Amino acid sequence: MSSIDELFERLRQEQRKAFMPFITAGDPDLEFTREVVRELATQGSSLCEIGIPYSDPLADGPTIQASYTRALASKLKLSHILEHCQGWVPSLEIPAIMMISYSIVHRFGADRYVRESQAAGFGGAIVPDLPIEESAKLAETCRQADFSLVQLVTPTTPRERALRIAETSSGFLYFVSVAGITGERRSLPPDLADSVAWLRERTPLPVCVGFGISTPEHIRMLAPVCDGLIVGSAFVRRIAEVESTSREAVLREIGQAAAELVAALPQSSA
């Protein structure tokens, strides 16, 4: 079992839901990334998703795109991120998972990528631009290494295809809440809960929902029908404020926001 599998098994036994914040590695620098992740862990996060900056993101909205641009301005590469993370990610009290474009994995080499990511303390990867038709090799590499490979299902994914994606995924399934890009939203689609519940009934994998989730109301609405909630832009937006205020103030704001969202999670399954 990967550390991601172990987390969801423990949460299942405790009848709890996962809270997963996303932040961009190296925004504004890797040392601040470390500080933010540790603060998020302190405030009750279950798992942290760390995004690898990429010049041509597939589904990220302007907030996360801007964070990638800021990180890439310092010539940041995957090898730099892995080297830095190896010094602190393995000692985290929560698992870490990487959000990464398949083009980076392919260029790095799948075997090397999985090996070095595990050495840096990561329990798996979310690969948003990996088509199911091309996923077999990476899925097998990850399976042999007990490294979770998380793939995405969207509101427009045909149901038969969604089940095929579930069969090649491990760790959990990432259910995209909206047909669009990442970013904070005031409201979510009215049929979202039903769509998530349908998929959750048909796969043994945990189903976690992301894109647009940013308020305690969103958490309370979706928690009964899913296994975890993913929040990204709400934190990345606050990190951008480092340019105009102190790091200590931004860390406090991030911690307070995380604590408020974690508090909205139910204490037991519905």
Contact 117, 139 (CB under 8 A): no
Average pLDDT over residues 50-79: 87
Average pLDDT over residues 74-100: 96
Average pLDDT over residues 141-164: 94
pLDDT of 184 reads 44
Give residue limits of the domains in the chain: 3-263
pLDDT digits (tens, 9 = 90+) for 101-144: 999 999 999 999 999 999 999 999 999 999 999 999 999 999 99
pLDDT of 185 reads 45
Average pLDDT over residues 166-181: 83
Q: Which of 32-41, 163-172, 238-247 has the lowest mean pLDDT?
A: 238-247
> What confidence category does residue 59 fall into, taking pLDDT thresholds of 50, 70 and 90?
low
Q: How far apart are CA 5 and CA 142, in angstroms?
A: 13
Q: Nearest Cα to 260, choosing from 39, 11, 43, 33?
A: 43
Average pLDDT over residues 88-104: 96
Please state which of the four CATH numbers 3.90.950.10, 3.20.20.70, 3.40.50.300, 3.40.50.150 is assigned to the domain occupying 3-263: 3.20.20.70
> What confidence category does residue 4 fall into, taking pLDDT thresholds of 50, 70 and 90?
very high
Annotated catalytic residue 27 = no
Contact 262, 40 (CB under 8 A): no
Annotated catalytic residue 49 = yes
Q: How far apart are CA 139 and CA 31, in angstroms?
A: 31
Average pLDDT over residues 194-218: 92
Tell me, what DSSP letter sits at residue 158? -
> What confidence category does residue 186 fall into, taking pLDDT thresholds of 50, 70 and 90?
low
Q: How far apart are CA 113 and CA 110, in angstroms?
A: 5
pLDDT of 64 reads 87
Catalytic, out of 49, 133, 167, 243: 49
Tell me, what DSSP letter sits at residue 74? T
Q: Quick one: how far is CA 16 from the chain centroid? A: 18
> What confidence category does residue 269 fall into, taking pLDDT thresholds of 50, 70 and 90?
very low
Catalytic, out of 60, 191, 248, 253: 60
Cα atoms in the 13 Å half-sphere on the side-chain side of 212: 18
Q: Quick one: how far is CA 74 from the chain centroid? A: 23
